[in-house]
Amino acid sequence: MKSPANLNTSTETNWQKLGEIELRAGPTAPTLIEPWLLETLRHLELHADLISKISKSAQQAVSHATQPEEGQWLIHLLVFVPAGYTYNGHTWGFFRIEKMGMKTMDEGIERHVIEFYLYLEG
């Protein structure tokens, strides 16, 4: 069992979890993403255009995840940054990974996992 200090950092991948949210698929799911992302990313002091790109990407992924069978999916959104990062004036970039169809403990419910990885460029 991991100690609480290690719960958000993976020593294998060197990424630190900045935040996560779980939503039930449906028409309101994409609208809940932007306020959550703004709060999650606020202390990174990202440029507004990068936050907008991340938000649009997340809303697009969530909208896509809600289309197959509304209400039958849980959407799990996570944001990661490099463990122990220091800003030092670099610019940020990001990439997104999606994992579809992961079964949950609830019978008949599948999970769509959307992971955002923010990294320092340069």
Domains of the chain by residue range:
16-120
- Consecutive H or E run containing 11: none
**pLDDT tens string 2-29:** 223 333 444 457 999 999 999 887 778 8
One-character DSSP codes across 55-109? HHHHHHHHHHHHSSSTTSEEEEEEEEEETT---TTPPEEEEEEEEEEEE-SSTT-
Q: Is the pLDDT reported for residue 31 higher than 80?
A: yes
Sort strands 110-120 and 92-103 into parallel, antiparallel or unpaired. antiparallel
Q: What is the pLDDT of residue 108?
A: 63
Phi-psi map region of 87: left, alpha, beta (phi>0 left; psi -120 to 50 alpha):
alpha
Q: What is the pLDDT of residue 11?
A: 45
Distance CA 21, CA 72 (A): 17
Tokens (6 digits) for 84: 């122990």
**pLDDT tens string 35-93:** 999 999 988 888 899 999 999 999 888 887 766 555 567 888 999 999 987 766 678 99
Read off the amino acid at residue 20.
E
